[in-house]
Amino acid sequence: MSTPNPAHAARRVVVYGASGYTGRLVCEFLRQFRIPFVAAGRDKAKVDDSMRTHVPGIETADFEVVQVEHTVEALTSLFEDADVVLNTVGPFSDLGPEVVQACLAAGTHYTDTTGEQDWLITCDEQYGAKFADAGLLLAPGIAQMYTTGEIAAQLCLETPGLDTLDIAVFWGGSPTIASTRTILVNAATSAAHYLEQNEYVPFDPGQGLVPLVVPGQHELAQSLPWGGTSHPVWFRRDPRVANVKAQGGVFNAALMHGVPQIVAQALEATKDMTPEDRDAALTATARQVMNVMPPRENPRVNKSLDSVHASGPLGRAHCVIHGNSNYQQTGLLQAFAAHWLLQQPPKRVGFASGCQAFGHHELLGILRSFGLVSKPVLTVQD
């Protein structure tokens, strides 16, 4: 490991939450891009151990491990010499504001891996204009479950006259500990919305599982709104698009059938609790569902599929992107965002999606160059 450098002068990228499953993958891809970075977290020993034992090839990376308190003041001090902060610490609706405020105070670009719709709306409405005025990027939700589907949607929208997006995202495997907790916290504290005529409309909380046709298989897959996802928020300000609905899930049918029951039980058990007691109870429930880090992804098992139907009054398009290793896709997308921002400004400042900030063809190209997605299958009916 490199010698600690208190000034962080040569390390212009900070990975906050570097000890987690996703954070470690972000660091792994930063190593491959040869980008020096600071691996930060609230427990230095935990971050250091994660780097040494779980990041292949980390001995060839230029990095420093830093412990930091989760306060605006401490984070601002850490970020002052950085250009980019890649945040993986969630639930973001609870823990994101301090990081975003610190980035704004330090003059640093911000990305994260969230799919929490309420957090995206908060970023858009409370912080987007401030970041834009400062010439900074605020890009929450750069992750496989959202960005790869957005790439498919943007490819469809290259055909003019399409105003409605029907998005499905599926993956093989199971969520991490942090993702499981985020799912429960999100279900307990916020509604899921879709976009209808440029207005947010809440999903029926009692709708349960919805069967979806998945390209490439005969069996129907079971889906959930999954918090509403990022897509309705990103496309709300796109003049081409009026309607966006996203559903998703894992290919494991048994796991999917169990999710609504787990969420319903957790909501019933915590409905009269204080916020602090509720968070503790939801964390305990999440650990009952997933209490160990998943193994490193196997591309024969951990497959991803993003399918987007786009339609308009007189036209249709359908794009399917098959891939693998969804968490690795997320790590790569985050590292590429840093790689870009160290060399040139984003295509858009303020609140923006990955595609809006860096271009959907560019993001597709980097995913394909690392062998994580196949060539999109795009069908257009004029």
Let me know whether 320 and 175 are in one domain.
yes
Report if residue 203 sits inside a domain: yes
| Residue 153 CB neighbours (<10 A) | 29
Which domain, by its residues, includes 62?
13-142+329-366
What one-character DSSP code corresponds to residue 159?
S
Report if residue 93 sits inside a domain: yes
What is the rounded distance in angstroms from the CA atom of residue 368 to the CA atom of residue 29? 14
Mean pLDDT in each 10-residue stretch from start to end of the chain (382 residues)? 45 95 96 97 96 94 97 98 96 95 98 94 98 98 97 98 97 72 59 95 89 92 91 97 94 80 74 76 66 82 96 97 96 98 98 98 98 98 84
Strand partners, 110: 85, 138
* H or E segment to which residue 243 belongs: strand 243-250
Report if residue 2 sits inside a domain: no
Let me know whether 74 and 193 are in one domain.
no
Asked if 212 and 223 count as a contact pair (C-beta separation under 8 A), the reply is: yes
Let me know whether 128 and 156 are in one domain.
no
Let me know whether 112 and 238 are in one domain.
no
Let me know whether 70 and 114 are in one domain.
yes
The count of domains in the chain is 2
pLDDT attached to residue 178: 65
Report if residue 228 sits inside a domain: yes
pLDDT attached to residue 208: 85
Let me know whether 192 and 96 are in one domain.
no
Report if residue 50 sits inside a domain: yes
Let me know whether 263 and 171 are in one domain.
yes
What is the rounded distance in angstroms from the CA atom of residue 348 to the CA atom of residue 22? 25
pLDDT attached to residue 287: 63
CATH number, position 350: 3.40.50.720
What is the rounded distance in angstroms from the CA atom of residue 290 to the CA atom of residue 354? 29
Let me know whether 37 and 129 are in one domain.
yes
Let me know whether 296 and 342 are in one domain.
no
Let me know whether 245 and 156 are in one domain.
yes
Task: Name all contacts of 120-125 with Cβ < 8 Å and 24+ positions apart.
Answer: 120/230, 120/233, 120/234, 121/200, 121/233, 122/93, 122/96, 122/97, 123/96, 123/351, 124/233, 124/236, 124/351
